[in-house]
Amino acid sequence: MNEPMKLTAPLKDYLWGGTRLRDEYGKRTELSKVAESWELACHRDGKSVIASGTAAGETLEAWLTRAGAEALGTRAAQFPYFPLLIKLIDAHDNLSVQVHPSDDYALRVEGEYGKTEMWYVVQAAPGAALYSGFSRPIDADEFRRRVEERTIMEVLKRYEVRPGDVFFLPAGRVHAIGAGGFVAEIQQTSDVTYRIYDYDRVGADGRKRELHVAEALEAIDYTFYADHRQPYTPRYDAVVKLIHCPYFTTHLLDLTTLPMTRDFARLDSFVIYLCMAGGVRLTDDLGHVRTIRRGQTVLLPATTRQVTLTPDSDGAKLLETFIA
């Protein structure tokens, strides 16, 4: 039970999805479009399946139930269920404007945890934009009025994005992914979403999708911030910190051709590698070897003490995530 595990992701065909996950990232499916690939998932609406090693074919959730807290690490084991959900999201069309509640609100109202998350922009079509927070201070009364008048987009902060942009989205922040965006999303394991505005679209049943304005009014954090981009300095062949919060820590590893060894002896957490470009061979301290390429994910159990990452000749770009 100490070996790295490649994962097969459940796929979602939401109405706004595109074809890049299928056509460019190797997701095998008969779906005509793929909106989301749940790269790491132990959620009731989608579960990763182990694709390598002695547990191949088993869901990650079932394996973790057998492996116990030792495989998760102390911090992760504090949560009543696996704490992280990691997605690749292909937005061919606009996603709804939405907000996720805090833990306190979600546990009280929904019976599950809230959602803090981050975005890493993997690809962006010309003019693609993300929305995060408000463009100026507003209060609940103005928010309610603008939703009723369908003018809420006028007060959302719009960011035209390019690959490598990072956004941190604590619970309570209004946000949306615009058409043309392709992002990696790292979040708490929760799917509690309050939809605020959906461009008057209709779903497969021919009806407009449900909005959750009353809940959103209570869940939104109206604090104004001038800029919601997460600053960082890109570097090759280095561990670059993107986000550190109580729910996850995420690093960017942009490898050229040089091997990198990561020491996890004192970490006490599982580690996830999501490959966004190129490919890499992982060799752990017990000699297990796994190879992942663009659009693939591997989990290292918390018992892993060390891993060496050897990039392909064209390099590798990875997101490294754990709980610290």
Residue 195 bears catalytic tag = yes
Domain assignment of residue 88, yes or no: yes
Domain assignment of residue 251, yes or no: yes
Domain assignment of residue 215, yes or no: yes
Domain assignment of residue 225, yes or no: no
Count of all residues that appear for the chain in the document = 324
Other CB atoms closer than 10 Å to residue 28's CB: what's the count? 7
Residue 47 CA to residue 220 CA, distance in Å, equals 29
Mean pLDDT by 10 residues, the chain (324 residues): 93 96 96 97 96 96 92 90 96 98 96 95 98 97 96 98 98 98 97 94 84 96 95 98 97 97 97 98 98 98 97 98 96
**Nearest alpha carbon to residue 109 among 117, 100, 121, 119:** 100
Catalytically annotated residue among 195, 281, 294, 305: 195
Domain assignment of residue 33, yes or no: yes
pLDDT at 1: 65
Assess whether 128 and 268 both reside in one domain.
no
Quote the domain boundaries for residue 167. Answer: 5-219
Domain assignment of residue 277, yes or no: yes
pLDDT at 105: 96
CB crowding 293-306: b at 16 or more within 10 Å, else e: ebbbbbbbbbbbee
Assess whether 133 and 78 both reside in one domain.
yes
**Nearest alpha carbon to residue 195 among 171, 167, 176:** 176
**Nearest alpha carbon to residue 292 among 313, 271, 316, 269:** 316
The residues near 236 (Cβ < 8 Å, ≥ 6 apart) are: 254, 255, 256
Structure tokens at 181: 């965006």
Cα radius of gyration (the chain): 20
Assess whether 151 and 295 both reside in one domain.
no
Assess whether 211 and 264 both reside in one domain.
no
Backbone angles phi and psi of 214, in degrees to 5: -60, -45
Angle of CA points 112, 118, 123, to nearest 5°:
130
Q: Is the dihedral of CA 136, 161, 299, 111 positive or negative?
A: positive
Assess whether 82 and 136 both reside in one domain.
yes
Domain assignment of residue 227, yes or no: no
pLDDT at 234: 97
Residue 177 CA to residue 272 CA, distance in Å, equals 24
Number of domains within the chain: 2
Assess whether 185 and 288 both reside in one domain.
no
Assess whether 98 and 207 both reside in one domain.
yes
Domain assignment of residue 224, yes or no: no
Assess whether 75 and 139 both reside in one domain.
yes
**Nearest alpha carbon to residue 311 among 247, 261, 248:** 261
pLDDT at 60: 97
76: domain CATH number is 2.60.120.10
Contact criterion met (CB below 8 Å) for 103 and 114: yes
